[in-house]
């Protein structure tokens, strides 16, 4: 008898993924000393106010950035709280995963199936990250709407979809006007130019309010680790300096909370990780499917294509055969573990590039398409490079607990518990991973 099945079972029991390799170890760099009492928030001696729930997203933050010696505040929160390497949902992109984190549904079910997408009900329109028409967002209710309707004041210092009048409708005759809908009580139009310090200070200012108008659920979003990861790759010093800057901003948040005597349950996550890419690992899609046969909707770690009228079979013939470093499917035939492809917003064909020990391959629209990037995400959500960070800290959480990996659909159920909301019905995740680490 071989040991292999036993080993596989043991790995599964540990919550380990079935992906065939472990990620490259990133070398440590100089470690700044951690300040004393570093985590701060929630220490019994200083807390005079009921805890607020703060959901922090650090876009593109790999869990192993915590081992690089540049994150004294985040590492202390992880050490004093609960931490894990979390599995994102497919596709491992920003908008689909941020919407999963606040709805508890996989992208195929919540409707934000991509950062860029089309819908037959809106011919000629394309959803981009700038789209705030509720049409694109209305399939699944985000947590701040549920909270607001339950009388819990919410405030969002950026989050994809937080600027959308959720449940509202756009008037076809006056496309700039939206009628109805619910937004967080406080929110800001997304603007990358707002510094991390300003973002943190806005949150602290909201919490200075008297108890009646003070938010009890807050989101906070940082983009710079993702931006640096794309530009320089996950192992580069310049990416680590972005990591270090965000760590300092999290420290500023923790210190600001402590100064207010404000208890907080912090849930710090990322939407996905970041894989190293290189110019020599590129496949030009137009060398496989000519532009006269299909439109390419998205390109990168995965590509989606819509055949032009009458060209479906030609596209199928070109794509649905073995290719080095990429696999293609019709959307209905994607492997079930992706939980993706039933939503009609997913284009007819999807090709996924390989992410292996040497890094990821890129599906470029053409050989000359922008080749400057050194990091990417969007790969198989089970790839170790795509793992997302999870840190929970505060009075609701036990100290010093490391959890096996879980799916990011479980985060919304956890947040519902923290807010005292009833468990959601029909969600794709639940709070099981956290039951043993919650303080009652």
Name the pairing type of β-strands 359-364 and 275-284. Answer: parallel
Sign of the CA dihedral with 422 first, then 428, 430, and 434 last: negative
DSSP summary character for residue 407:
B
Give the residue, chosen from 127, 137, 158, 206, that forms a contact with ligand AMP under the rule CB under 6 A: 158
Of 265-284, binders to ligand AMP (CB under 6 A) are none
> Shortest distance, CB of residue 412 to ligand AMP, whole angstroms?
18
User: What residues contact residue 1 under an 8 Å CB cut-off, 6+ apart?
Assistant: none
Please provide residue 173's backbone torsions phi and psi, each rounded to the nearest 5 degrees.
Answer: -75, -30
Tell me if residue 94 is catalytic.
Answer: yes
59 binds ligand AMP (CB under 6 A): yes
115 binds ligand AMP (CB under 6 A): yes
Q: Report the distance separating Cα 346 and Cα 324, nearest Å.
A: 24
Give the residue, chosen from 10, 129, 398, 399, that forms a contact with ligand AMP under the rule CB under 6 A: 129
223 binds ligand AMP (CB under 6 A): yes
Of 26-65, binders to Zn ion (CB under 5 A) are 59
> Residue 52 to residues 59, 174, 258, 390: CA-CA distances in angstroms?
22, 39, 12, 18
Q: Which is nearer to Zn ion, 249 or 265 (CB)?
A: 249
Strands (E), 59-187: 82-86, 154-157, 169-170, 178-179, 186-187
151: left (phi over 0), alpha (psi -120 to 50) or beta: left
Give the residue, chosen from 40, 63, 111, 160, that forms a contact with ligand AMP under the rule CB under 6 A: 160
Give the residue, chosen from 75, 94, 262, 405, that forms a contact with Zn ion under the rule CB under 5 A: 94
| Stretch binding Zn ion (CB under 5 A), from 27-35, 93-101, 127-135, 287-295 | 93-101
408 binds Zn ion (CB under 5 A): no
Q: Which is nearer to ligand AMP, 68 or 377 (CB)?
A: 377
239 binds ligand AMP (CB under 6 A): no
Q: Which is nearer to ligand AMP, 130 or 211 (CB)?
A: 130
> Shortest distance, CB of residue 104 to Zn ion, whole angstroms?
19
> Residue 27 to residues 231, 260, 390: CA-CA distances in angstroms?
19, 38, 21
Radius of gyration of the chain (CA): 22
User: What residues contact residue 298 under an 8 Å CB cut-off, 6+ apart?
Assistant: 114, 115, 116, 304, 347
With CB under 6 A as the rule, give the number of residues binding ligand AMP.
13
Q: Which is nearer to Zn ion, 94 or 154 (CB)?
A: 94
227 binds ligand AMP (CB under 6 A): yes
> Residue 236 to residues 206, 254, 375: CA-CA distances in angstroms?
36, 27, 10
Please provide residue 203's backbone torsions phi and psi, each rounded to the nearest 5 degrees.
Answer: -60, -45
Q: Which is nearer to ligand AMP, 112 or 260 (CB)?
A: 112
385 binds Zn ion (CB under 5 A): no
Smallest CA-to-CA distance from 78 within 65, 94, 87, 97 is with: 65
271 binds Zn ion (CB under 5 A): yes
DSSP summary character for residue 431:
S
226 binds ligand AMP (CB under 6 A): yes
Smallest CA-to-CA distance from 257 within 75, 37, 17 is with: 37
> Shortest distance, CB of residue 98 to Zn ion, whole angstroms?
7
Residue 423 touches which of ligand AMP, Zn ion, none (CB < 5 to 8 A by kind)?
none
| Stretch binding Zn ion (CB under 5 A), from 89-97, 125-133, 208-216, 357-365 | 89-97
| Stretch binding ligand AMP (CB under 6 A), from 25-33, 221-229, 304-312, 389-397 | 221-229
Give the residue, chosen from 64, 133, 226, 382, that forms a contact with Zn ion under the rule CB under 5 A: 226
Asked if 144 contacts 217 with a C-beta cutoff of 8 angstroms, the reply is: yes
Give the residue, chosen from 53, 71, 75, 94, that forms a contact with ligand AMP under the rule CB under 6 A: 94
| Stretch binding ligand AMP (CB under 6 A), from 7-15, 219-227, 366-374, 400-408 | 219-227
Q: Which is nearer to ligand AMP, 82 or 246 (CB)?
A: 246
Query: Where do we find the tokens 């989606």?
Result: 304
Query: One of 53, 71, 94, 239 is an active-site residue; which one?
Result: 94
Q: Report the run of H or E that residue 328 belongs to, with start and end.
A: strand 326-330
Q: Report the distance separating Cα 92 and Cα 114, nearest Å.
A: 9
133 binds ligand AMP (CB under 6 A): no
Site mask for Zn ion (CB under 5 A), range 353-382, x = bound: ------------------------------
Asked if 374 contacts 236 with a C-beta cutoff of 8 angstroms, the reply is: yes
Q: Report the distance separating Cα 375 and Cα 167, nearest Å.
A: 36
298 binds ligand AMP (CB under 6 A): no
Q: Enumerate binding residues for ligand AMP (CB under 6 A).
A: 59, 93-94, 115, 129-130, 158, 160, 190, 192, 223, 226-227
Known catalytic residues are 94
């Amino acid at each position: 008898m071989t040991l292999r099945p036993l080993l596989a079972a043991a790995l599964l029991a540990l919550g380990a993924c079935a992906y065939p390799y472990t990620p490259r170890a990133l070398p440590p760099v100089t470690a700044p000393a951690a300040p004393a009492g570093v985590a701060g928030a929630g220490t019994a001696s200083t807390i005079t106010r009921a805890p607020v729930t703060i959901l922090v997203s650090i876009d593109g933050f790999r869990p192993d950035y915590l081992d690089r010696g540049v994150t004294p505040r985040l590492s202390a929160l992880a050490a004093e709280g609960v931490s894990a390497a979390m599995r994102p949902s497919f596709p491992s992109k920003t908008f689909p995963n941020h919407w999963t984190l606040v709805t508890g549904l996989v992208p195929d079910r919540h409707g934000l199936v991509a950062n860029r997408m089309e819908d037959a009900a809106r011919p000629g329109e394309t959803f981009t990250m700038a789209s705030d028409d509720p049409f694109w967002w209305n399939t699944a209710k985000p947590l701040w709407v549920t909270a607001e309707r339950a009388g819990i004041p919410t405030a969002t210092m950026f989050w994809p979809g937080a600027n959308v009048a959720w449940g509202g409708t756009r008037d076809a005759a006056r496309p700039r006007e939206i009628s109805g809908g619910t937004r967080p009580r406080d929110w800001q139009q997304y603007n990358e130019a707002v510094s991390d310090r300003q973002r943190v200070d806005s949150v602290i200012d909201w919490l200075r309010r008297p108890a009646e108008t003070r938010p009890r659920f807050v989101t906070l979003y940082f983009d710079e680790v993702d931006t640096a990861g794309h530009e320089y790759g996950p192992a580069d010093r310049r990416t680590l300096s972005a990591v270090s800057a965000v760590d300092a901003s999290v420290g500023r948040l923790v210190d600001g909370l402590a100064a207010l005597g404000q208890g907080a349950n912090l849930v710090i996550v990322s939407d996905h990780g970041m894989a190293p890419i290189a110019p020599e690992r590129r496949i030009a899609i137009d060398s496989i499917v000519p532009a006269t046969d299909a439109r390419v909707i998205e390109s990168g770690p995965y590509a989606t294509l819509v055949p032009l009228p009458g060209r479906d079979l030609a596209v199928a013939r070109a794509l649905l055969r073995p290719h080095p470093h990429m696999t293609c499917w019709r959307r209905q035939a994607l492997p079930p573990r992706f939980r993706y492809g039933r939503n009609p917003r997913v284009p007819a064909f999807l090709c996924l590039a390989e992410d292996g020990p040497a890094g990821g391959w890129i599906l470029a629209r053409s050989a000359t398409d922008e080749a400057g990037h050194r990091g990417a995400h969007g790969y198989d959500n089970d790839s170790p490079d795509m793992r997302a960070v999870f840190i929970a800290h505060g009075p609701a959480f036990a100290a010093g607990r490391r959890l096996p990996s879980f799916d990011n659909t479980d985060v919304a159920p956890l947040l519902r518990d923290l807010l005292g909301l009833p468990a959601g019905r029909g969600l794709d995740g639940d709070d099981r991973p956290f039951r043993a680490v919650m303080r009652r």
